[in-house]
Amino acid sequence: MALSLAEKAVLRPGERVLVNAAAGSLGVWLVQLAHAAGAHVIGAARGEWKLRHVREMGADVAVDYSEPEWAERVREATAGAGVDVVFDGAGGQLGRAALGVTADGGRFFSYGAASGAVADLDAHEVERRRVVLRGVEDEIAPGDWRLADQALSDLATGRIRAVIGQALPLERAADAHAAMAARDVIGKTLLLP
């Protein structure tokens, strides 16, 4: 899905891109894809260990969205202009705040609800500011293997690095789900036979 989102965003060199939930399973890909496209990447996550990882993935700026002034830090990182593209995997209040730092005419892609709910965005504000809004339902068409081939190629060439945050035996599935629900994992969680 990350490749589909990045493709639909039509990322251009020099654009300012905010990845909300940047340490999540899709976020780590989106940070890397935006960086590879030559964008100025701002990764938002919670906690210093996740922020450190987001920087390692290619974010130029990492902000902690558990801090009250995080959106202001994003605006400062863009010299007040706002971001051209938002990839919002956090949703809820964090997604609403991300809309607030989106530049007029920007592109906003909502794909997750790590905060517990999808972002409830003001349709009048979206229209007034000419923000292009896309949701997860607009993404990958069934049978589109082209993106899977691209993902494998990107991994093989090292353009993108896979991030496995935890790998647990199947009998510990409850532990894996608890860690994901607590948002204590960076990247993907694998269950092994």
> What is the per-residue DSSP string for 12-31?
-TT-EEEEETTTSTTHHHHH
The answer, yes or no, to whether residue 120 has pLDDT greater than 60, is yes
- What is the percentage of the chain residues whose pLDDT exceeds 70? 95
Residue 93 has pLDDT above 60, yes or no: yes
CB atoms within 10 A of CB 99: 22
Predicted pLDDT at 87: 97
pLDDT at 160 (0 to 100): 83
Q: Tell me the C-alpha distance between 80 and 89, whole Å.
A: 23
pLDDT at 37: 97
> Which residue ranges form the domains of the chain, and what is each CATH number?
2-138 (3.40.50.720), 163-193 (no CATH)
pLDDT per position as a tens digit, 124-145: 999 999 999 998 665 556 666 7
pLDDT of amino acid 165: 80
Query: For 37-92, what is each residue's pLDDT tens digit?
Result: 999 999 999 999 999 999 999 999 999 999 999 999 999 999 999 999 999 999 99
